[in-house]
Chain A
């Protein structure tokens, strides 16, 4: 319990910031953009405690670290705890001290994945598969939504929730389908919580979700570098680095982000076990999440779950750098528009009509 509290609310120290260029106390800290492969990588203990710093900083960190570690140490050292409990404590201890995902070497990535998979196995007896697949070369994902085709069925929403292990108890959803009166595009008067037969007479439907902006304001405001844009244009979050300040949520002009106000609940039998570290792996309380264009699917050539679930073909997805892709044809041949284009956020999510 105590451990959980500290695990979720820990504040990364300045040295953890990936952008901080002058915050390095010693050559051993984790703030280098390119990790040195020659020298042995410092483990979590060295990174946090084994570096030179002034006394005050050292005391502050040690107190926090000790308090947080107390629970884990108890679990891992207690003579009475069972083997699994000990192992769990050890794994959690190592997880606690891991780096920001972007600073991890491939080896560190596979280690954290191993730990996450093992922890899940200890807790549920089931196995998950967490991928760390990187961006595919020469790919920039784009999305197009046909507002004359969408009928408001919301099959996409269900598919998304299922695919991405979203909290069932708060009915977290990345996608919202807005029912609007014909001839207007006004979100104030739109209904995104309708329950009558669709399509309703005289209305059209417009879906919103994270637009994976090329120039994402949400990324700029994150104080700890827990959210960023990947090379294939997908804006992702490191759930274990997010401190839950919700700055990004305030900065997003499109209502693209969702916050876990409580520990997400997903019944084990409904958990999607095919996961990605930056995608649909299980989140904890107090962290931000959002659409990732189903990174666990799209990086394997599949369409996001919403595209696959849509019965009307209103959703088109693909590589906008491929001149022969469907999405590119839409962008070049249909009249496309985006929301709040004047902001310069450059969403990679376009709307079009037949």
Chain B
């Protein structure tokens, strides 16, 4: 009698054990939302030797390396903006500091760059000299006055837009340049956003699907 009871309990336990064993729920990809992502964690790729790189699509000479080091990426390159800017260096026109320039202006005389409208935060927060160095127009500067080159303006933007900067360094924000293979080449902030008016503008879509209207 006693033996039978023990056997019975054992049998029940075995059946339960089999039913509840971990890993038995997995029925070929139907176990929720992260199956492929789960698998990715365990796939290790030993060699990634592509026959191509982003340098096939973009000229290496027109790129510069960013200052931050990104984990995993040996290189993180952005377009060389200073080489593209038409009237750089700014000191070609503006040889004096802002103070001296303003002092020398006749009453009512037009300011330089009067046509630039700033739609970027409120004026109590930002003005021209928040980003531009009033003493040296060839440079930008940080909130504490440290010089920043035009090529590395992301250091300036990242002071406020830190989440965007994190996404950009990781790869979720900012347009990929030159393809998908290494090395990392991305647009920098000012490649897509006008720093004086950073929001994307409204416009008509690129096409109208007339055939679908019938």
Contact = CB atoms under 8 A, between A and B. Distances in A.
Contacts of B50: 136, 301
B176 A138 contact: no
**Interface of chain B: mostly helix, strand, loop or mixed:** loop
B47 interface: yes
Interface string A209-232: 000001100000000000000000
A303 B179 contact: yes
A128 interface: no
Contact of B204 (A138, A197, A307, A341): A197
Given A311-B192, A330-B172, A354-B173, A157 B207 contact: yes
Contacts of B51: 136, 301
Interface in A110-136: 136
B205 to A, nearest CB: 4
B197 interface: no
B45 A313 contact: no
Interface string A164-204: 00000111010001000000000000000111111100000
Contacts of B30: 342, 344
B172 A325 contact: no
B93 interface: no
A195 B209 CA distance: 9
A316 B73 CA distance: 17
Interface of B: 28-30, 32-33, 35-37, 40, 43, 45-54, 56-57, 72-73, 163-164, 167, 170-176, 179-182, 184, 187, 192, 200, 202-213
B73 A324 contact: yes
A287 interface: no
Nearest to B175: A313
B56 A153 contact: no
B211 to A, nearest CB: 4
B40 A301 contact: no
Contact of B29 (A158, A215, A334): A215
Given A193-B212, A199-B200, A324-B73, 4 more contacts: A300-B52, A313-B187, A324-B72, A325-B171
